[in-house]
Structure 1
């Protein structure tokens, strides 16, 4: 029973820290302190340490000598690779999801798009990122492929930290919902191919700016 309980706590801690990474809770280069996270989660350091090492093994975090666990900085080559795969996988998930969405979920996407408009107008990055994540998750879940969604979430782990900096360029920030509006229009028109294209546009729009925040190792 104790082993099962400890395992459950470790899994829960891992899921929480993984989700925080995807949402950009921490910035590239930021050091993650075990005690601070344990205090924040009101748990002992052990499951936090295990979760961080698990994320480091997945290369979502980085073990750095004398510094502990840190959020890695992406190179431009790494970012380009991630973006290309996101367009492939998320485009396919959106294409399949667009054909299978029920009406309630379709209307939820409309409301989330409106929520992102409000967040951008109020310069509320956290609310935007939360709504954006749910918007994409709801669409991709409708694809009916848990494996496809799992692969997409793995890629999100690597870009979450820099995604939290989208608001730093006002011109980019104000356009972050444009592709979502195009997606909604395509969705309501029953045009799955246009939904896929809107996802590609969305990723390219954010990616063109986020790439400038990466490290050029060439």
Structure 2
């Protein structure tokens, strides 16, 4: 597996360790890093055009947050989540994002819902085109637009932490061939619920979305899924 990364160079006008941390955090959340990928200090530093010190600080911070692990040589590795850990993360996401959906439904305005609908349209187009990186980015954007609409900053921080831990695993879901969905995409049901200010329906839609993809990933992580 290649150790190369695709990251934007960072500037030197603010705390470098913080900027490196945010770049890597976003890469984890968007699934741009794969389970098992090694983050070698010198490779990351060269990609970001910074010295080793801020890279080391950022990687240690991410490891302390459970987003990375350190091997025997101190090299940061994107972990392979065991099924039971992913199941715990999924259960927490269902609870927290379900609460966010309820709050968002009460606060929803036409402009916010239209913006989320546009994100979903881009997501659908990216899926149709087989553009994996765009799918991952738009999927993250949709979920965090919902979180932002909920206006629950403490909950948002908790959800970000969970996404950092499971983002690379979510990538595995979208790398697999997907058949035709059995019915309406849960995102569309969520958007309809937001327009009606229906908190219960909004929660049900996001739970359906998370549980449906979660079942596929749990089968994959448990070795029960058919090979791609």
TM-score (norm 2): 0.86
Of Structure 1 and Structure 2, the greater helix share is in: 1
Q: CA deviation at 1:111?
A: 0.7
8 Å Cα contact 2:41/2:75 also seen in 1: no
Gaps of 5+ in 2: 1-11, 224-228
Describe the shift of the 1:75–1:154 C-alpha distance in structure 2 as closer, same or farther (beyond 3 A).
same
2:135 to 103, 128, 138: 128
Q: Which residue of 2 aligns with 1:103?
A: 110
1:206 to 206, 213, 225: 213
2:203 to 178, 196, 199: 196
Bigger mean CA offset, 176-185 vs 13-22: 176-185
Describe the shift of the 1:37–1:95 C-alpha distance in structure 2 as closer, same or farther (beyond 3 A).
same
CA distance in 2, matches of 1:213, 1:34: 30
CA distance in 2, matches of 1:177, 1:15: 35
User: Number of matched residues?
Assistant: 212
Q: Which residue of 2 aligns with 1:23?
A: 30
CA distance in 2, matches of 1:177, 1:31: 38
- Secondary structure class of the residue paired with 1:52: helix
CA distance in 2, matches of 1:189, 1:177: 17
Q: CA deviation at 1:98?
A: 1.7
Question: Does residue 155 in structure 1 map to residue 162 in structure 2?
Answer: yes
Bigger mean CA offset, 119-128 vs 98-107: 98-107
CA distance in 2, matches of 1:54, 1:196: 33
Question: Does residue 181 in structure 1 map to residue 164 in structure 2?
Answer: no
Describe the shift of the 1:47–1:67 C-alpha distance in structure 2 as closer, same or farther (beyond 3 A).
closer
Q: Which residue of 1 aligns with 2:46?
A: 39
1:170 to 146, 155, 177: 177
Q: CA deviation at 1:168?
A: 3.3
Describe the shift of the 1:6–1:212 C-alpha distance in structure 2 as closer, same or farther (beyond 3 A).
farther
Q: What is the Cα-based RMSD across aligned positions, in Å?
A: 2.1
8 Å Cα contact 2:108/2:194 also seen in 1: no
Question: Does residue 92 in structure 1 map to residue 99 in structure 2?
Answer: yes
Gaps of 5+ in 1: none
TM-score (norm 1): 0.90
